[in-house]
Structure 1
Amino acid sequence: MAGWESSARVSVVGRQGCHLCDVALEIVRRVAAETGADVEVVDIDEHPDLLARYADEIPVTFVDGAQHDYWRVDEGRLRAALS
């Protein structure tokens, strides 16, 4: 993705005031704490390229730079991806 690179193991792309983003971030932070993964939160409104691509899919989660989930985070699937 042009204009955005992450060094974190898990990235959550979302926006302020997004209830699904808050829920996804809670799950991601819990699993990351258990697995020792780094988490990055990316505000989609600060990245026009992300906004153009993912506006209708937030929150979007990435693991090791690859898209993992959107709208909802499957906790078991995330845990498996991080193990």
Structure 2
Amino acid sequence: MPRVTLISKPGCHLCDDARAIIARVTQDLGESFEELDILERPDLLERYAEEIPVTLVDGRQLDFWRVNEARLRAALSQPLR
């Protein structure tokens, strides 16, 4: 199961930036990530409509709008809880 989840939507340039950072970090660290389209998930749309892209690590929100690469690397260096 991927430790990182990116909640995004099509045509979102911030989502493109977040995806690139997440892909690089997860590849560097031997992790994987999944991406969920907020437009296909009413529950996510209700919760995160104004915050996308949203980055979750181990199911917890880490960042929104922009991904902080150092914070993502630090979160992934922690053991899975």
Give the shorter-chain TM-score range: over 0.9
Note the aligned Cα RMSD (angstroms).
Answer: 0.6
In 1, Cα distance between the equivalents of 2:39 and 2:2? Answer: 19
Task: Answer yes or no: is 1:36 the counterpart of 2:36.
Answer: no
Q: Which runs of 5+ in 1 are unaligned?
A: 1-6
TM-score, structure 2 as length reference: 0.92
Structure 1 segments (4+ residues) deviating >6 Å: none
Task: Answer yes or no: is 1:46 the counterpart of 2:40.
Answer: yes
Aligned length: 77
Which of the residues 16, 30, 41 maps onto 1:22? 16
1:56 is aligned to 50
Identity of aligned residues (%): 58
TM-score, structure 1 as length reference: 0.90
2:67 is aligned to 73
In 2, Cα distance between the equivalents of 1:68 and 1:42? Answer: 16
